[in-house]
Each structure stands twice: as C-alpha cells, then as structure tokens.
Amino acid sequence: MKTVGIIGANGYTGSELIRILAFHPNISLSFLYSRSNPGIKISDLYPDLETVCDMVLTDQPQDTDIVFLCLPHKESRNWLAQNPVKEETLVIDLGNDFRLDGNFGDRNFIYGLPEINKKQLSGAKSIANPGCFATAIQLALLPLADKGLLNDVYTTGITGSTGAGQSLQATTHFTWRNNNISAYKTLTHQHVDEILQQLVTLNSDEVSLNFVPWRGDFARGIFTSSTIKTEAALSDIEQWFREFYAEEPFVTVSEKGIDLKQVVNTNRCVIQIERCGNVTVIHSTIDNLLKGASGQAVQNMNIAMGWEENLGLNLKPVAF
C-alpha cells in the first residue's frame, strides 16, 4: 500500500483525485493539503464526498510515497521550492509548470501523455500531466503526425465551466454561462505550444495549429474538431488510428457519431473521423477533469508504479 498526499485538494482536480483514489486498491490517502481551508472536512466543501472521504484539510504537508500537485498554474515550482520532497517520492504535477520545461533541480519531469510516452513514464519519479485541451487535441492528431501528414491544422474545441477552476469568475457564473457560448483566447491558448512540442517529435514537417477554444454552457467535458487536408483515403486514416491506439485502454476510435456524454465521468477519449473531398475532420471528446486532468494523473501513477494501467479507472460514463 502506497501513501498519497494531494496538494490543493480543495480544487476540482483535487476533489476528483480523492473520488478516484478513495477506491484505488493500492493507495492510502495520508493528507489533503489546502492553504485556504485548513481544519475543514473535505466533505463539507464537496457534499458528494460525504460517503467517500471524511478527512480534514491541513496546511502541513507530510512525507508520502506519492504527491499530486493540484495547484493553480505557475505555482507548483514555488511550492516544491518551499516544501522539498524526498528524491524517491513520485511527484505528479497537474499544472503547467513543467510541461514545456521539465527541469527542476535534480528532477526531470516526463510529459505524461501515456499514449506516446509510456516507456519513459515507467518508473518515473517526476511527471508533468498534460493540459485538458492538449490531451484531446493531441490524441486526435498523433496518428496523422506519425505518418507525417500534418501541415496546417484548424481546430475548434468547446469546454465546460469546470475547466476554468473552482474560483468564481464573471465567465463561469451560472447566469452568464447558462444558455451561452463564447470564444476565448483565439489562436493564443496556452496549450498550443504544449501540443506543438509533442507533435513535432512525430511529424516530419513543421506543424501550424490554429486553435479557437469555446466556453460551453455545461459543467464538464471537452469536444474538439480538427480539420486538415490530405489525399489519404478515409479507410486508410481509420486503420492508422486503430493501429496507433490498438494497445491503449482509454482511447476508442468510433465509426459512429460521438457525443460528450460518452466520456463524462470516465478516463476515456473517443475519436471519430469524417471526410469530404480532400478535407478530413477528426473529432475527439474527453472529460476535462478526468482524462484531461485527475484520471490521467492516476493513469500516469499506475504506469510509473508498475501497476495495471486502468487500476481504479474503470468508470462508467454519464448516460442521461
């Protein structure tokens, strides 16, 4: 049994980690760290955890075998600098501090997209969890990059309000978000550099990604559509995707139209490919809090620890 500490346990990704790890057969939760709510039971903040976890939040970290960093972006480096962890401790960062530059002291963070870095993740002690949009978009494009077919890519993606974090903002308030959608960070989203960094390792030519993200009027989930031009036949493209993900337990290539509800509350990514003339569109959908964050972090933990990759992650999607 390995001990786990969650830093930033009071946020959405932290609470989702608790929900998963409370039933993980190889894990014992040792402490839940929060700077803003020490002394408060986690179930008082998240009533859905009342029958799952009754631990009290603390601002005093402890030594554990595994630490998950669920802090706001750009805060993980500072936290680690102020709270050094043992060399043998597995650190998994769910922020963006180490995705582009993985060096931190004696640690070298491995980019935690299992579908391309599984060998490097095995036995790793420092893992940088990918971003939510970055995960959905990369999984839709990696098989084409592997064939050197990416040049100009045009992607749109819509995400739920939980993607903005727990802190209330004008654009996450129910009265603004309900019955409304809007574009944001057009062509400048912070995940673009992260995506390109990985795609160029497979694609033979430089890739241009033109990404327009949208805010959706729902709580959780991401749906992306990426458009490229290629003369390759649809049957060949579908075969490439199936071969690329043949050994991946959480990626499914569907011949039917796909829906967000197929993946919400799961660690799955479902992909569908459509084509008209020489234009191909690859749709992908994930739960932004699970495959896009906490679920993928647990998947990375399982791989790093040498456990079954899907341990604790056999979750049923929301059906209705």
Task: Report the run of H or E that residue 119 belongs to, with start and end.
Answer: helix 114-121
What is the reported pLDDT for 175? 75
Per-residue pLDDT of the chain (320 residues; tens, 9 = 90+): 999 999 999 999 999 999 999 999 999 999 999 998 999 999 999 999 999 999 999 999 999 999 999 999 889 999 999 999 999 999 999 999 999 999 999 999 999 999 999 999 999 999 999 999 999 999 999 999 999 999 999 999 999 988 766 666 667 777 777 889 999 999 999 999 999 999 988 877 889 999 999 999 998 999 999 999 999 999 999 999 999 999 999 999 999 999 999 999 999 999 999 999 999 999 999 999 999 999 999 999 999 999 999 999 999 998 76
Domain 2-129+293-305 homologous superfamily, CATH? NAD(P)-binding Rossmann-like Domain (3.40.50.720)
Domain ranges in the chain are 2-129+293-305, 132-286
Nearest-angstrom CA–CA distance, 288 and 293: 6
What is the reported pLDDT for 162? 82
Q: Which residue in 70, 132, 269, 276 is the catalytic one?
A: 132
Nearest-angstrom CA–CA distance, 320 and 42: 28
Which amino acid does the sequence have at 145?
A: A
What is the reported pLDDT for 159? 96
What is the reported pLDDT for 176? 77
DSSP single-letter state for residue 71: P
Q: Is 137 helix (H, G, I), strand (E, B) or coil?
A: helix
Question: Between helices 191-199 and 132-146, what is the axis angle to 10°?
Answer: 20
Residues 6 or more apart whose Cβ sits within 8 Å of residue 66: 2, 3, 4, 5, 27, 89, 90, 91, 92, 301, 305
Q: Is 70 a catalytic residue?
A: no
Nearest-angstrom CA–CA distance, 230 and 295: 33
Determine how many CB atoms are found less than 10 A away from the CB of residue 19: 19
Write out the two tokens for 23.
Answer: 């039933």
Nearest-angstrom CA–CA distance, 35 and 313: 28
- Outline where 173-266 has alpha helix (H): 174-177, 191-199, 234-244
Domain 132-286 homologous superfamily, CATH? Dihydrodipicolinate Reductase; domain 2 (3.30.360.10)
Write out the two tokens for 176.
Answer: 């603004």
Task: Report the run of H or E that residue 20 belongs to, with start and end.
Answer: helix 12-21
What is the reported pLDDT for 171? 72
What is the reported pLDDT for 165? 62
